Structure 1
Amino acid sequence: MRYLLLVSHGEFAAGLKTSIAMFAQDKIGDVIANGLRDGMSTDEFEHHFRQSLSHLKEEDRVIVLADIIGGSPLTAACKVLDELGYLEDAIVLGGMNLPMAINAVVMKDMLDGQEFVKTVLGEAGAALRELDVVSSEDELDDDI
């Protein structure tokens, strides 16, 4: 089985998991969220992260989405995954957002390797753009 691991500073990962459930409730059991809370040491985070993975089997694989590449939550998570033997086959992506996470959970069992990475990162990037907002007054002026 493939699991989607969300790691972040604060409660971002947990909030993202809640939002994913609105779109992919049937896959939410495959999502594990861990956040480095304010005042929590990296040792404490590693302990909680390790506990959240305790049900994984040797043949399971993981996809990690993190808020910041190089941030403490991701480096601590990678350390634990390496110790448990999951890092070598893991896919690790940073800069997570909701479109990226939804795509990852939906596509994790359909695509592998670079095809998965390209699809998920493509969705994440496509979600980043400016919305050109037109006020209702501007619309009225155009009608006159």
Structure 2
Amino acid sequence: MIGIIVSGHIHFASGMQSAVKAIAGEQKQMEFIDFVESMSTDELEAKLRQAALLADSGEGVLFLTDIPGGSPCNRALAIMMDTPNIELIAGANLPMIANAAFEREDVSLQELVETLLEIGASCMQDMRKELEAVMELEPVAECEDGL
């Protein structure tokens, strides 16, 4: 099973952890690392490296971080650059993280990355446009009595 490390600013990771637990149950080989104000970036990287070691069963590790270019992303990128069989997706959202729990068995690390990128993109929707499209398909029926 592919290991998953979720990291982000302040309580992003721990918030995602409680949401994933509610959606997918308790997860093995899935670590959540918050980058809190009292932590240095060196401390963050050390925690990310330790989490990757704990989560890796030999099938690879995928980092999912909040902001592209933010400290969790940059430190995970440094790990990816010097450690084999690690990938990183920045800008992760809850649908991606929850689906990572469901989709990470019996796929390659690269297949998981592709699947999660598709899920993440498809879950972002302009709900006004979605509503307008539905309203165009379903004309409002008029009542016979005019009400």
TM-score (norm 1): 0.76
For the pair shown, the structure with the greater C-alpha radius of gyration is: 2
Match in the other structure for 1:109:
105
CA RMSD of aligned residues (A): 2.8
- 1:122 paired residue among 118, 125, 144: 118
Structure-2 separation of matches of 1:64 and 1:23: 20
Unaligned runs of 5+ in 2: 133-141
1:55 is displaced (CA, Å) by 3.4
Where does 1:46-125 land on structure 2 (aligned, <5 Å)?
46-56=45-55, 59-80=58-79, 82=81, 85=83, 88-125=84-121
- % identical equivalent positions: 26
CA contact (8 A) 2:67 2:73 kept: yes
Give the length in aligned residue pairs.
135
1:53 is displaced (CA, Å) by 4.0
SS in 2 for 1:34: strand
Structure 1 segments, 4+ long, off by >6 Å, are none
Unaligned runs of 5+ in 1: 135-141
Match in the other structure for 2:4:
4
CA contact (8 A) 1:17 1:31 kept: no
SS in 2 for 1:102: helix
TM-score (norm 2): 0.75
Q: Deviations over 1:25-45 (max 9, x none)?
A: 15x122101121124210121
